[in-house]
Amino acid sequence: MKPSSASDCCPAPKSEPDLRPIEGEEADEELAVLAKAVGHLARVQILRILVRRTTCVCGDIVDELPLAQSTVSQHLKVLKDAGLIRGEVDGPRVCYCIEPRALRRLKVLVAGL
């Protein structure tokens, strides 16, 4: 097992202000996309796993869920397409981590309701 350059892919939270509007058609669409991505138990659990560990998680996500590898991979893709997570290739494996900016955006949009 390699040390893995996991620390590379998890960006520091970087609290640069988010200037995007919190209302309007575009914000609505954004919220819908983000919420839809979160709208599945498996994906909520994946997010929880990634949030809990500040470091990146390589693949062991599959072991924590009662789902086939291909299914988990699909859920990861959904989250990635929504921008909520990022996957960094690290040798033979892939390291996933939260995209803090998107998660913060989701929180802001929901809080704005």
- Selected binder of a copy of itself within 28, 60, 64, 81 (CB under 8 A): 28
Give the phi and the psi of residue 65 in degrees, each rounded to 5: -115, 150
Instruction: Identify residues 1-40 at the interface with DNA (CB under 7 A).
Output: 2, 36, 39-40
Question: DSSP secondary structure string, 19-57?
Answer: -S-SSSHHHHHHHHHHHHHH-SHHHHHHHHHHHHSSS-E
Smallest Cα–Cα separation from 104: which of 22, 29, 28, 36? 22
- Selected binder of a copy of itself within 7, 11, 13, 51 (CB under 8 A): 51
3-class SS at 109?
helix
- Selected binder of DNA within 53, 62, 104, 108 (CB under 7 A): 62
- Selected binder of DNA within 22, 38, 49, 93 (CB under 7 A): 93
Residues that bind DNA (CB under 7 A): 2, 36, 39-40, 42, 58-59, 62, 67-71, 73-78, 87, 89, 91-94
